[in-house]
Every structure is written in structure tokens, then in C-alpha cells.
């Protein structure tokens, strides 16, 4: 049995998914589940608290998506290996996650046999990409403007179809503050209506349909 186990933080908003991953990983002698988180902000907090070697994180999280959370985590813990799980195989989602600093990207529909091997590779500093993905080249076209974590939270909730008032309730802010964030997003991205904002966010992997 190895002297030092690979510590893992599981991040997924579905408890049953996390439980399934935990059971799978608990069978491995060299892997230890250090903790769990259900959204992006909790992942950031738990990563700071637990300092796991590897974070297994769903891309489609409520509020802040996995790529945005990865950026924040790696600012303070650049040595952490992040493995992103997603239902999306489109290159723009993969590129967004890799640009955020994630070392791996696996599709969620058939990962049972791949997950433990991927975690070991990520812990060893290797990059892991699902073999079913299309080849991912460098950034396509213009690089997307960098948004703040709060702007990404607001953008995800806009994609979810929530109004300013509903977003304000979710984030504990005023509707006026959300209106300002929405206006800033449109100005930064040079987009002038909500429908185009939603299309842009999904197409560029900044948010997902949850």
C-alpha cells in the first residue's frame, strides 16, 4: 500500500453522483476522498481548507461554473490538479476548461472505468483528455474577455432564465446591483440583448444549460 494517498475533492451539485464517485474511489488503496462540495464557491472554500492533490469537478455547477471555480482555486493553489467532468463534447467547452488551468476533461456519460486512472495521471502532472473528444486547438478567433467570478455567476443565472429580481434573491444582492452586472456584461462582451448574451455564453463555454 502506498505511503501517501492521492487526496481528492469531489465537486458536483448532485449528492447521488458524489456518493457514486466516493464509493468507486474508496475501493482504491492509493486514493482518499478528502471532502465534497456542491457548487463553485464551496469548491473554492474546500480547496483552500483541504488542499487536495486532485479536484474532480463537474463543469455545470449552480452559480459559478467549474471553469470559473478552477481559475479561482489555481490562483492560490497552482499545484492542484483539476479534472473537469462534463456532458459537453464541443471543443469550446474543452478549451474553456483547459484555459482555466484544468489538467483534464472527461465526458460524464461513461467514466466509471476511466476516473481512477485519470486521477492518478492528473496527480502525476499529466494532462488527460477524453479520447472521444474532437481535437482541441488553440483559442478560436478572438480570446473571450475575462469576466469576474461574480459576473460569471450572474451570467450563468441569466442563461438559466432567471430575472434580475430572481438572480438578486439567489445571490443575496439587490436587483439594481444585478442590473448593473447585466449591463456591464453586455458592455464588456459588446452584446446588446439577453438572447444574444445567452447564445454567446453557451457557445464560448462560459455557462451551460443546467
State the average pLDDT over residues 144-167: 85
User: Residues 97, 127: contact at Cβ < 8 Å?
Assistant: no
The pLDDT of residue 153 is above 50:
yes
Q: Show the cell assigned to 87.
A: 456532458
Report the CATH number that the domain containing residue 21 is assigned in CATH.
3.40.50.2300
Could you report the per-residue pLDDT of 27-53, keeping only the tens digit for each?
899 999 999 999 999 999 999 999 999
pLDDT band at 144 (very low <50, low <70, confident <90, very high): low
Statement to judge: residues 119 and 160 lie in one domain: no
pLDDT at 19: 93
Statement to judge: residues 193 and 121 lie in one domain: no
pTM of the predicted model over 0.95: no
pLDDT at 65: 86
Residue 75 lies in domain? 6-129
Statement to judge: residues 123 and 19 lie in one domain: yes
Rounded percentage of the chain residues whose pLDDT exceeds 90: 50
Question: From CA 198, how far away is CA 210, in angstroms rounded?
Answer: 13
Structural domain includes residue 1 = no
Statement to judge: residues 78 and 125 lie in one domain: yes
Residue 70 CB partners (closer than 8 Å, separation 6+)? 55, 57, 82, 84, 97, 100, 101, 102
Statement to judge: residues 192 and 123 lie in one domain: no
Q: Work out the angle between the directed axes of helices 175-189 and 164-171 (0-180°, nearest 10).
A: 110
Number of H helices, E strands in the chain: 9, 6
Statement to judge: residues 112 and 157 lie in one domain: no
Statement to judge: residues 81 and 179 lie in one domain: no
Structural domain includes residue 80 = yes
Statement to judge: residues 102 and 58 lie in one domain: yes
User: Residues 25, 8: contact at Cβ < 8 Å?
Assistant: yes
Statement to judge: residues 44 and 98 lie in one domain: yes
Structural domain includes residue 31 = yes
pLDDT band at 1 (very low <50, low <70, confident <90, very high): very low
Q: Is 37 helix (H, G, I), strand (E, B) or coil?
A: strand
pLDDT at 136: 57
Statement to judge: residues 13 and 87 lie in one domain: yes
Report the CATH number that the domain containing residue 174 is assigned in CATH.
1.10.10.10
Structural domain includes residue 166 = yes
Statement to judge: residues 82 and 118 lie in one domain: yes
Residue 169 CB partners (closer than 8 Å, separation 6+)? none
Could you report the per-residue pLDDT of 73-124, keeping only the tens digit for each?
998 899 999 999 998 888 878 888 888 899 999 998 766 668 999 999 999 9
Among 129, 162, 188, give the residue marking a domain's end.
Answer: 129
In terms of Cα–Cα distance, which of 69, 58, 2, 68 is closest to 31?
2
User: Residues 152, 197: contact at Cβ < 8 Å?
Assistant: no
Query: How many domains in the chain?
Result: 2
Q: Show the cell assigned to 107.
A: 465526458
DSSP of 98-145: HHTT-SEEEEGGG-TTTHHHHHHHHHTT--EE-TTSPP--S--SSPPP
Amino acid at each position: 500500500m502506498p505511503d501517501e494517498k492521492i487526496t481528492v475533492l469531489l465537486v458536483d451539485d448532485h449528492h447521488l453522483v458524489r456518493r457514486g464517485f466516493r464509493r468507486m474511489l474508496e475501493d482504491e488503496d492509493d486514493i482518499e476522498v478528502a471532502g465534497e462540495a456542491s457548487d463553485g464557491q464551496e469548491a473554492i472554500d474546500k480547496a483552500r481548507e483541504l488542499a487536495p492533490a486532485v479536484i474532480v469537478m463537474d463543469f455545470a455547477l449552480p452559480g459559478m461554473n467549474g471553469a470559473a471555480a478552477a481559475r479561482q482555486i489555481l490562483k492560490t493553489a497552482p499545484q492542484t490538479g483539476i479534472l473537469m467532468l462534463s456532458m459537453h463534447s464541443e471543443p469550446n467547452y474543452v478549451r474553456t476548461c483547459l484555459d482555466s488551468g484544468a489538467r483534464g476533461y472527461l465526458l460524464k456519460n461513461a467514466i466509471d472505468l476511466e476516473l481512477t486512472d485519470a486521477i492518478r495521471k492528473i496527480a502525476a502532472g499529466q494532462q488527460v483528455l477524453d479520447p472521444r473528444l474532437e481535437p482541441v486547438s488553440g483559442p478560436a478567433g478572438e480570446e473571450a474577455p475575462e469576466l469576474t467570478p461574480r459576473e460569471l455567476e450572474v451570467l450563468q443565472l441569466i442563461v438559466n432564465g432567471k430575472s434580475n429580481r430572481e438572480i438578486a434573491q439567489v445571490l443575496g444582492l439587490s436587483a439594481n446591483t444585478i442590473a448593473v452586472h447585466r449591463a456591464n456584461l453586455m458592455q464588456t462582451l459588446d452584446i446588446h440583448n439577453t438572447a444574444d448574451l445567452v447564445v454567446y455564453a453557451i457557445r464560448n463555454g462560459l455557462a451551460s444549460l443546467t
